[in-house]
């Protein structure tokens, strides 16, 4: 019997303009919880602006990326759940741009096996690491990855805590880091605007497509390099660039805009959501087999502009569609069914939380 003692946490775009074709979007600015049957419970957190990635630390505390450009932060919430069965208490803010230059418009958060917190930031296009205080906050930048300081000893100073650097450095807080070539692990920005031509461009600058999901698994750090149409793989201990996933083993598919990442502990596979292909791919580190897992033909409309991914106990894969504004589930037998539909805002990221 599948384990039903979990909730599915969802973050939403929070931007009224982001609905699918013909939709009337009503922003949702909190983490929302659904039980295993798809019943909505309510606010896990208070309302914020533009929430994105979530992660649980070893103590069960919830960490949340607040992505609004005017209020970027990583906030920490209690491990205990309120008497209502879903809400969590704000403990404090772990990281802000004032405490970490690297943090700007964060997308994803993750923890390494040692309990260090990592965040991907879309507007600096880096992944940065932090040591977390015993109370769960604040978090202070780690040393720059040894790979970066060894391979790129000159040409500028990396933001404190940088673990994966950008191929197109962004000046932030008066700091301009060295450029790391894509072939050596630097992350790609497309639509990069160093000197925006208008106030409208300045709001969107510096990136249209940049780093997205991050995931630690099997001694490696996986990073969705959306602008580079690849998932880059780094050594989890040193930050050294190892390889990248681009084209499936059979040569039939090439990544377009990888965004969401999830790990299936049962199979050891890393799953990749690619809204540009309307598809989900899987990679097995041991065999190095990279293959299509689901597309619109096998998974239906739920693959349209696929966004967040997460695995529940028992092996059920949950995934969200920005186009249909719904969440779907695929059981261990491969059957795809709707989980929650009729959402008023576009779902972004998913997380499974034990209850």
Q: Give the 3-state secondary structure of 137-189.
A: CCEEECCCCHHHHHHCCCCCCCCCCEEECECCCCCECCECCCCCCHHHCCECC
Phi, psi at residue 77, to the nearest 5°? -125, 160
pLDDT for the residue 169: 87
The H or E element spanning position 264 is strand 260-264
The whole-angstrom separation of Cα 311 and Cα 264 is 6
- Which residues, given as ranges, of the chain have pLDDT below 70? 1-4, 16-24, 155, 192-208
Residue 155's pLDDT is 66
Write out the two tokens for 64: 């949340």
Pairing state of beta strands 241-245 and 260-264?
Answer: unpaired
pLDDT digit string (tens) for 148-190? 999 987 767 999 999 999 998 888 888 889 999 999 999 999 8
* Domains observed in the chain: 6-354 (2.120.10.30)
Q: What is the pLDDT of residue 22?
A: 47
In the sheet that holds 32-35, the strands lie side by side as: 40-43, 32-35, 6-12, 347-354
Q: How much helix, strand and coil, in percent to the nearest 5, is found in the chain?
A: 5, 40, 50
Query: How many CB atoms lie under 10 A from the CB of residue 337?
Result: 11
Do residues 206 and 193 make contact, with C-beta atoms less than 8 angstroms apart? yes
| 78 C-beta neighbours (distance < 10 Å), count | 16
Q: What's the pLDDT score for residue 207?
A: 52
State how far the alpha carbon of 238 is from the alpha carbons of 65, 109, 145, 163, 324, in Å: 24, 18, 6, 8, 40
Concatenate the DSSP letters of all residues of 177-220 into one string.
Answer: PPP--GGGTPBP-BS--SS-SSHHHHHHTT-SB-EEEEEEETTE
Give the sign of the dihedral formed by CA 37, CA 40, CA 46, CA 48.
positive
Distance (Å, whole) CA 107 – CA 101 = 15
Q: Across the chain, how many H-helices and E-strands are there?
A: 3, 25
Distance between CA 4 and CA 38 in Å, rounded? 11
The confidence score (pLDDT) of residue 32 equals: 97
Residue for token digits 């931007």? Answer: 15
How many whole angstroms separate alpha carbon 308 and alpha carbon 286? 25
Q: What's phi and psi for 175, nearest 5 deg?
A: -105, 135
In terms of DSSP H, where are the helices of the chain?
146-151, 199-204, 296-299
pLDDT digit string (tens) for 237-257?
999 999 999 999 999 999 999
What percent of the chain is predicted at pLDDT more than 90? 81
């Amino acid at each position: 019997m599948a384990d039903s003692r979990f909730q599915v946490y969802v973050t939403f775009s929070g931007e009224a303009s982001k609905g699918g074709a013909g939709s009337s979007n009503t922003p949702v600015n909190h983490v929302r919880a659904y039980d295993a049957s798809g019943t909505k419970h309510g606010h896990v957190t208070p309302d914020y602006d533009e929430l994105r990635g979530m992660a649980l630390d070893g103590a069960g505390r919830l960490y949340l990326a607040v992505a609004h450009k005017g209020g970027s932060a990583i906030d920490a919430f209690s491990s205990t759940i309120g008497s209502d069965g879903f809400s969590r208490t704000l403990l404090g803010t772990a990281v802000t741009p004032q405490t970490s230059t690297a943090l700007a418009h964060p997308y994803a958060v993750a923890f390494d096996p040692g309990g260090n917190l990592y965040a991907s930031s879309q507007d600096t296009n880096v992944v940065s690491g932090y040591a977390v205080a015993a109370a769960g906050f604040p978090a202070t930048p780690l040393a720059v990855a040894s790979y970066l300081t060894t391979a790129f000893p000159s040409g500028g100073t990396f933001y404190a805590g940088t673990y994966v650097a950008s191929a197109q450095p962004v000046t932030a807080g008066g700091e301009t880091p060295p450029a790391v070539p894509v072939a050596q692990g630097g992350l790609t920005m497309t639509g990069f605007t160093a000197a925006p031509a208008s106030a409208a461009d300045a709001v969107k600058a510096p990136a249209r497509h940049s780093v997205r999901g991050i995931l630690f698994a099997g001694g490696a750090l996986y990073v969705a390099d959306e602008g580079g149409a690849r998932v880059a793989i780094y050594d989890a201990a040193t930050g050294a660039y190892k390889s990248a996933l681009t084209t499936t083993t059979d040569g039939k598919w090439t990544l377009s805009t990888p965004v969401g990442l999830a790990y299936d502990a049962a199979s050891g596979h890393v799953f990749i959501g690619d809204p540009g292909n309307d598809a989900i791919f899987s990679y097995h580190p041991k065999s190095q087999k990279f293959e299509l897992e689901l597309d619109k033909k096998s998974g239906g409309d739920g693959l349209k502009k696929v966004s967040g991914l997460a695995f529940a106990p028992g092996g059920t894969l949950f995934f969200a569609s920005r186009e249909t504004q719904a969440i779907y589930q695929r059981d261990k037998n491969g059957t795809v069914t709707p989980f929650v539909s009729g959402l008023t805002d576009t779902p972004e990221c998913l997380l499974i939380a034990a209850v």
